[in-house]
Amino acid sequence: MRLAHPVGPIRFTPSRVAPISPPAPLEHAAAGVPSIIGQAGVWVLVALGWAVFIAWWAVVLQRESARSFGVALGLLAATLLASATAMSLWTRHNIRVARRGKRGMSSLYIPMRWERDTLGRPLDLPAPEIVRTAAEVRVVLRGSTKAYLIADVEDL
């Protein structure tokens, strides 16, 4: 079974329709001034939350021995010290690499070459000034060359 190929280029975008403008930003209702009772209620809830937090820590600290509390603080201090040391060493390493100018390929600018497409076919491109103002650009295959054509106004 042989598949039928289109005679001319296929249109993927409607060219006879005016471009669709972006949607208008949503109109938000002006926020009113919150009531004093509402503000006081929020502050009371925040204070209650902190009171519960402090109360539970008081329970924990009363049940734990001074030795276990010291061990916990020591582990916390060791973790902070190890993190600060690792960050300092990593920062020094990055500064040293940056001074040498050998950052690898990740920050190297690679210019685009518009000679071939990803399949290796040569490209036939029109002048950039014409393409920027064209209403429609068609992509056709001429032999083994991929050609970008500016559509005539009569064809639109």
pLDDT at 134: 85
Is 22 among the domain residues? no
- Identify whether residues 78 and 134 lie together within a single domain: no
- Identify whether residues 125 and 146 lie together within a single domain: yes
Is 82 among the domain residues? yes
pLDDT at 44: 97
pLDDT band at 129 (very low <50, low <70, confident <90, very high): confident
pLDDT at 91: 95
**What are the phi and psi torsion angles at 147 (to 5°)?**
-110, 135
Is 86 among the domain residues? yes
pLDDT tens digits, residue range 93-106?
A: 988 888 877 666 56
Cβ-based neighbour number of residue 120 at 10 Å: 7
Q: Rounded mean pLDDT of 130-142?
A: 87
pLDDT at 117: 87
Range of the domain at 68: 39-108
- Identify whether residues 153 and 131 lie together within a single domain: yes
Is 77 among the domain residues? yes
Count structural domains, the chain: 2
- Identify whether residues 64 and 102 lie together within a single domain: yes
- Identify whether residues 95 and 55 lie together within a single domain: yes
- Residue 148, class by beta-carbon neighbours within 10 Å (0-12 exposed, 13-18 middle, 19+ buried)? middle
Rg (alpha carbons) of the chain, rounded to whole number: 34
- Identify whether residues 97 and 155 lie together within a single domain: no
pLDDT tens digits, residue range 11-67?
A: 555 555 566 676 677 665 566 777 899 899 999 999 999 999 999 988 888 888 888
Is 52 among the domain residues? yes
- Identify whether residues 46 and 87 lie together within a single domain: yes
- Identify whether residues 101 and 119 lie together within a single domain: no
Q: Rounded mean pLDDT of 66-81?
A: 91
pLDDT tens digits, residue range 103-119?
A: 665 666 677 788 888 88
